[in-house]
Structure 1
Amino acid sequence: MQAGDWYCCIDSELSVLRHQARLAVHQHNHGTPDPGEPLSPSLAALFAEHGQNCLIETPFHCAYGINITLGDQVYMNAGCTILDSAPVRIGDRSMLGPNVQIYCADHHRDPALRAKGLEVARPVTLGSDVWIGGGAIVLPGVTVNDGAIVGAGAVVTRDVEAGVRVVGNPARALPG
């Protein structure tokens, strides 16, 4: 999975990692918010790295958590989902609206191999000062560069250049 090769997602070692993530996410989603600690201790311990003053509203879901890296002052609104079978990096001051979804797993196109659980993991990167509108979906292997804006409900299928605004399905740059 980490090497970017095809792997079977129905694996006992991966099941253990997903279970650990579910426990941390459950604690985050059902714990009492602490204004002194914007990032819940369970997610802070789970994530690969996190900067200062990150806030993740509840509910939140992630597949593994161990592949998520947050910069400083990252904000995720309620209902965000990160399926982090590959590294997901979110830069400083980036904001995700409600129900944003980030997917790293890409399943096999051959139905017989897909039925066996074969998938490949591709990293997703959000630069600094990125704004992802509510309900947007970022697909495997995509980079959204610094200062870009993804409109609400957009489906981002390819990289977004720095400072560009994209909307629609598939997401396309707005003129000007």
Structure 2
Amino acid sequence: MSEHDAAVLARIRQGSLYTESEAAFLAPQRRADLIFDYNQTRPSDTDRRRTLLEQILGSVGARTVLLSPFHAGFGSNVHIGDDFFGNVNLTFVDDVEIRIGNGVMIAPGVTLTTTGHPVHPDLRVDFRRFSEPIVLEDKVWIGSNAVVLPGVRIGYGSVIGAGSVVTHDIPPMSVAVGVPCRVTRAITQDELRGRV
């Protein structure tokens, strides 16, 4: 890796601004053709789908279900634990790492985006952007059409309501909803009685 590329990578990891041209050296990590192939496979072809997921993702746990179609900027920066369920139209904007724990469920139409752009238009030349990792801890459930923004960590067992836009960290064992997403209550042992 050249000194220039190493310096750009360091800026990316620090959450600083970088341009499309500066980050072009990362292009070989994109898995667009493999993602296309995955999205064209038959749902019943589980062996082929598993093989493709292992080629696309940075790491993938056991008993993973990812329904088609899904989309990813790279794919190689996504790490999924065991017992994952991702419903249709899941989008990973994974310019940097997205780490998903065990037992996570994601409903249809969810976007996990590690990347944003500056507000001032003069700073968006050459698609200038910043990227910060996303972490979904074990047993998180994200409702339909939610968006998780750069740098967010969602704590163990938390539930994100449908349509929410998650702009900041959510503590463990919380129900959080809204735009912007806010914690509305804690999840307690009383929930074990049934649907709440």
Q: TM-score, normalised by structure 1?
A: 0.91
- Deviation of the 1:52 alpha carbon: 0.3
SS in structure 2 of the partner of residue 166 of structure 1: strand
Provide the residue aligned with 1:172 in structure 2. Answer: 182
Distance 1:89 1:139 in 2: 13
Question: Contact 1:133–1:153 at 8 Å: present in 2 too?
Answer: yes
Distance 1:109 1:98 in 2: 29
CA change 1:43–1:29 in 2 (3 A) is same
Distance 1:172 1:59 in 2: 29
Residue 20 of structure 2 is aligned to residue 9 of structure 1? yes
SS in structure 2 of the partner of residue 78 of structure 1: coil
CA change 1:39–1:129 in 2 (3 A) is farther
Residue 153 of structure 2 is aligned to residue 151 of structure 1? no
CA change 1:166–1:38 in 2 (3 A) is farther
Residue 111 of structure 2 is aligned to residue 101 of structure 1? yes
- Deviation of the 1:34 alpha carbon: 4.0
Listed as ranges, the gaps of 5+ residues in structure 1 are: none
Question: Contact 2:105–2:142 at 8 Å: present in 1 too?
Answer: yes
Provide the residue aligned with 2:3 in structure 1. Answer: none
Provide the residue aligned with 1:72 in structure 2. Answer: 82
Task: Identify which range, 29-38 or 65-74, moves more after superposition.
Answer: 29-38
Provide the residue aligned with 1:112 in structure 2. Answer: 122
- Deviation of the 1:86 alpha carbon: 1.1
Higher relative contact order (CA 8 A, sep 6+): 1
Q: Percent identity?
A: 29
SS in structure 2 of the partner of residue 160 of structure 1: coil
SS in structure 1 of the partner of residue 13 of structure 2: coil
- Deviation of the 1:115 alpha carbon: 2.2
Question: Contact 1:89–1:126 at 8 Å: present in 2 too?
Answer: yes
Provide the residue aligned with 1:140 in structure 2. Answer: 150
- How is 1:45-84 mapped onto 2 (pairs within 5 angstroms)? 45-84=55-94
Residue 170 of structure 2 is aligned to residue 160 of structure 1? yes
Provide the residue aligned with 2:6 in structure 1. Answer: none
Listed as ranges, the gaps of 5+ residues in structure 2 are: 1-8, 187-196
Of Structure 1 and Structure 2, which has the larger fraction of its residues in helix?
2
Which amino acid in the other structure matches residue 43 of structure 1? L
- Deviation of the 1:43 alpha carbon: 2.1
SS in structure 1 of the partner of residue 52 of structure 2: helix
Distance 2:104 2:49 in 1: 15
Number of equivalenced pairs: 174
Provide the residue aligned with 2:140 in structure 1. Answer: 130
CA RMSD of aligned residues (A): 1.8
